[in-house]
Structure 1
Amino acid sequence: MVRSTPLPLRIAGKVFLVLIALFMLAPLAVVVGAAFNADQFLAFPPEGLSFEWFADALADTTYTYPFLFSLQIALITAVGSAAIGTLFAIGIARHKVPGSGALQSFALSPLTMPSIIFAIGILQTVSQLLGGSSPWILMLAHIVITVPYVVRTVLGVIARSDVFTEEAVRVMGASWWQRYWHVLLPMCRPGIIAGGFLAFIVSFDDAVIALFLRTPQLQTLPLAIYGQLEFSASPTVAAVSTLSMALTAIAILAIEKIVGLGKVFS
């Protein structure tokens, strides 16, 4: 017989969860509050209410160009990671590949490697072999660290998919291309979209790898924010960060509405 959890322990658990949530949300609240500050300097709580800094953020090329560059890199990374990760996951799950367990561990290994170690390795490699960094090098580095997210989500969807549907299509004479295009890929679509979304977020928010691979012409939005914070504490930085958080939140809601992230990660 399973005993119920004591009431004091349940209360303590809920209090602990609330404290963790406050610890995670408090910095975000400070940033958002500082973005509406009417004063010329970063301050919380805000001294007055102003939308001036949001207008400055949208008009200042210090942030708009890095934002467009980060958006471009993140979109290409998401598409590339979705394609590579999906093919890798299907190959492991649907084909008897020798050493599939080792291959899966290899595909997920970037998740266990510290970003700074990976960034140093990439920097040394491209410096010796290619003479320096470039936007394509940054994009390839982001694809390497984001492919595991797609592999994991697609494998999770395939594990819960109906194998008998594929067998029925094969018995009815469908070619391998028809089975993959009309049956397997549609079943994997929630995992592909969720993994691609995670790849987009990781690439768009990356600062460590971009810091090591940066050049005068290669400036991402996180690096632009960091650079401005280093030399000036303008509320425009908080406004840019708030807009970035809003963009991420809108993307999460859109993906949840389309595929339901809870079904993918459950």
Structure 2
Amino acid sequence: MVKAVPTPIRVAAILFVILTGVFLLAPLVVIAGVSVSESQFIAFPPTGFSLRWYEAVFSSDAYLSAAWISLRVALLVTVTSCLIGGAAAIALHRRKLPFSGALSTLFLSPLVLPTIIYAIGMLMLWSALFGPVSILTLWVSHTIVTTPYVIRTTLAVLSESNPFLEEAAQTMGANRFQRLRLVVLPQCLPGLAAGTFFAFNISFDEAVLALFLRKPGMTTLPVQIYGQLEFSPDPTVAAVSTIMIGLTVLLIFLIDRMLGLQRFAST
């Protein structure tokens, strides 16, 4: 017979969950509050209510240019990470590649490498082999960092998939491409969706790589935010951050509508 959990332990667990939620959400509330403040300085609680800082963001060429570069890189990285990571996960799951264990470790190695070390190494390597950095440099660098997330989430889904469905499709006469399109890819969809979500957010929010692998006129949004905080901080930084939070919430909403958060979280 399972013993009931003592009341003090249940109360302590509930308080711990509440305090954890407050600790995680309180900074977001502060950022949103500062973004609608009438004050010209970053201060909380806000004084009055104004959307002037959002208007300043959408009328700023510096912010819009940086956001466009970040969005373009993030979309390119999302597509390439999904294609490379999905294909690698399927191949690793079937274990038909030689040295699949070593390849799995190699694909996941960027997760344990410090980003700043990788950024310095990539800058030195790219400069020695190809010359000045460019959008392509950020694209390749971000793809290397984000692809392991797609592989990991897709492998997690494939590990729980039914291996006999593809055999049944083969028995019914489906060729290799038809089995991949009609059986394997639908099974991978939740993992691919989770991986692409991580890939887009990580690429769009990546600052260390963008800080090292940039040139004049190629500033991403996170670097622009850091520069604004360093030299002339004002509530426009909070407004941009709130917009980025809203973008993340929108992506989660879209995933919920397409797949359901329960299937997404199960990966």
Q: Is the TM-score greater than 0.5? A: yes
- Which residue number corresponds to residue 55 of structure 2? 55
* Stretch deviating more after TM superposition (192-201 or 82-91): 192-201
Cα deviation code 1:62-92 (max 9, x no counterpart): 1011101100000000000000000000001
Corresponding residue number in structure 2 for 1:149: 149
Q: Secondary structure at the match of 1:185?
A: helix
Shift of 1:4: 3.3
Secondary structure of the residue that 1:246 maps to in structure 2? helix
Q: Which amino acid aligns with 1:216?
A: P
Residue number in structure 2 paired with 1:181:
181
Maintained 8 Å contact 1:153/1:265: no
How many Å separate the matches in 2 of 1:11 and 1:132? 59
Deviation at 1:93, TM superposition (A): 0.9
Q: Would you say 1:136 and 2:131 are equivalent positions?
A: no
Instruction: Give 1:183 deviation, angstroms.
Output: 1.4
1:223 match: 223
Look up the SS of the partner of 1:107 in the other structure. Answer: helix
Between the aligned partners of 2:110 and 2:193, the Cα distance in structure 1 is: 20
TM-score, normalised with respect to structure 2: 0.95
Does the 8 Å contact 2:42/2:235 carry over to 1? yes
Alpha-carbon RMSD across the aligned residues, in angstroms, is 1.4
Q: Distance in 1 between matches of 2:6 and 2:98?
A: 49
Judge conservation of contact 1:36–1:51 (CA < 8 Å) in 2.
yes
Asked if 1:22 corresponds to 2:41, the answer is no
Q: Which amino acid aligns with 1:121?
A: G
TM-superposed CA distance for 1:222, in Å, is 0.4
Question: What's the counterpart of residue 263 of structure 2?
Answer: 263
Contact 1:194 1:261 in 2 (8 A): no
Instruction: State the Cα distance separating 1:261 from its structure 2 match.
Output: 3.9
- Tell whether the 8 Å contact from 2:42 to 2:234 is kept in structure 1 after alignment: yes
| Residues 38 and 46 in structure 2, CA contact (< 8 A), matched pair in contact too | yes
Q: Kindly report which structure 2 residues correspond to 1:180-199, keeping only aligned pairs within 5 A, or say none.
A: 180-199=180-199
Quick one: distance in 1 between partners of 2:95 and 2:131?
A: 40
The separation in 2 between residues aligned to 1:203 and 1:235, in whole angstroms, is: 24
Alignment of 1:158-173 (within 5 A): 158-173=158-173
Which amino acid letter does the alignment assign opposite residue 107 of structure 1?
Answer: F
The residue type equivalent to 1:237 in the other structure is V
Identity of aligned residues (%): 47
CA distance in 2, matches of 1:203, 1:60: 22
After TM superposition, what 4+ stretches of structure 1 lie above 6 angstroms from structure 2? none
- Aligned match of 2:31: 31
TM-fit CA distance, 1:17: 1.9
Q: Is the 8 A contact 1:153 1:191 kept in 2?
A: yes
Who is 2:253 aligned against? Answer: 253
- Aligned partner of 2:137: which letter? I
Shift of 1:167: 0.8
Q: Which residue of 2 aligns with 1:3?
A: 3
**1:40 equivalent in structure 2:** 40
Cα deviation for residue 125 of structure 1 reads 0.9
Contact 1:78–1:196 (Cα < 8 Å) also in 2: yes
